[in-house]
Amino acid sequence: MTNPLSAGQMVRGFLAGAFVAAAALVLPAAPASAIEIEGSGLTIAATPALASDYLFRGISQTRSRPALQGTLDIEHESGFYVGAFVSNVAFQGSNAAAELDGLVGYRTELAGIKFDIGAVYYGYPGSYTQGVPELSFFEGVLKASKEIDIVKLMGTFAISPNAFGRSGTGYYVEAGADIQLPFEFIGNLRVGYWNLERNNRFGTPDYVWYSVGVTRELFEGITLTAGWTGTDISKHNCIPTSASPRGQDICGGRFVATLSRAF
């Protein structure tokens, strides 16, 4: 088990980095782009973000509170890549304070369709949840996308041998579209379905989630994404605990806004 000092150090490091990332959002600078390391074939992109709520597949990971986040992507010209994602989290009955994910995979294009084949490790450093000593889990992920005129179509399939909270095999599918709109807006549509083997361990039935929103660059590379997200989970079936026997208010529909900036 991770000792408390190490866990605390990781959380403090995360918070310091998150505040630096948030500050970077408001500092004036030229429009941002990924950095190419000359002679290495590597491209590095980093994206700090500030969100009004952190939703993962339609469910709040911060109990309806704001989130400071960061994404890092390092890709080789061959198509292989590694990446990371970090965010604060807050789960009822858990001391988890941060999520730190690792990503690895391969991107390619065939017949005009872009494919991304990879794996994700969702980690919660130093966390402990009553009755569930391990939250972290792996997923294998296949993504595909294709642009047709002003529309970009996307699809995702993911499988985990033991999903969040040791809830057994999990299958996830998602479809989406980004649509170019007037005045440089982009419309975002997403719908997903998560099937879980042991729903009593996860805390919800198998469910559908959806989101409808828009994205637009505001100024100096700062981008705003805003929209409505919801699920078909009733509050009664939303991860009930001894502290909230009638379910939690983290699965219901809500408006979410995110400011981000890619470097």
pLDDT of residue 22: 39
The span from the CA of 213 to the CA of 191, in Å, is 12
pLDDT of residue 37: 86
pLDDT band at 129 (very low <50, low <70, confident <90, very high): low
3-state secondary structure the chain: CCCHHHHHHHHHHHHHHHHHHHHHHHCCCCCCCCEEECCCCEEEEEEEEEECCCEECCEECCCCCCEEEEEEEEEECCCEEEEEEEEECCCCCECCCEEEEEEEEEEEEECCEEEEEEEEEEECCCCCECCECCCCEEEEEEEEEEEECCEEEEEEEEEECCCCCCCCCEEEEEEEEEEECHHHCEEEEEEEEEEECCHHHHCCCCEEEEEEEEEEEEECCEEEEEEEEEECCCHHHCCCCCCCCCCCCCCCCEEEEEEEECC
pLDDT of residue 133: 57
Mean pLDDT, residues 224-242: 96
**HSE-CB for 95 with a 13 A CA cutoff:** 12
pLDDT of residue 126: 80
CATH tag for 4-261 (out of 2.60.40.790, 2.40.160.40, 3.40.50.740, 2.20.25.570): 2.40.160.40
Top-ranked range on mean pLDDT: pick from 36-45, 89-98, 183-192: 183-192
- Residue 192, token pair as written in the block: 């997903």
- Residue 233, token pair as written in the block: 């989970």
Distance of CA 60 to the CA centre of its chain: 11
For residue range 143-178, list pLDDT tens digits in order.
Answer: 999 999 999 999 999 999 999 989 999 999 999 999
Nearest-CA neighbor of 208 among 236, 179, 241, 175? Answer: 175
* pLDDT surpasses 80 at 32: no
The span from the CA of 22 to the CA of 5, in Å, is 26
Residue that is written with structure tokens 């100096």 in the block: 220
The span from the CA of 224 to the CA of 236, in Å, is 33
pLDDT of residue 229: 98
The residue ranges of every structural domain in the chain are: 4-261
End-to-end CA distance of the chain: 36
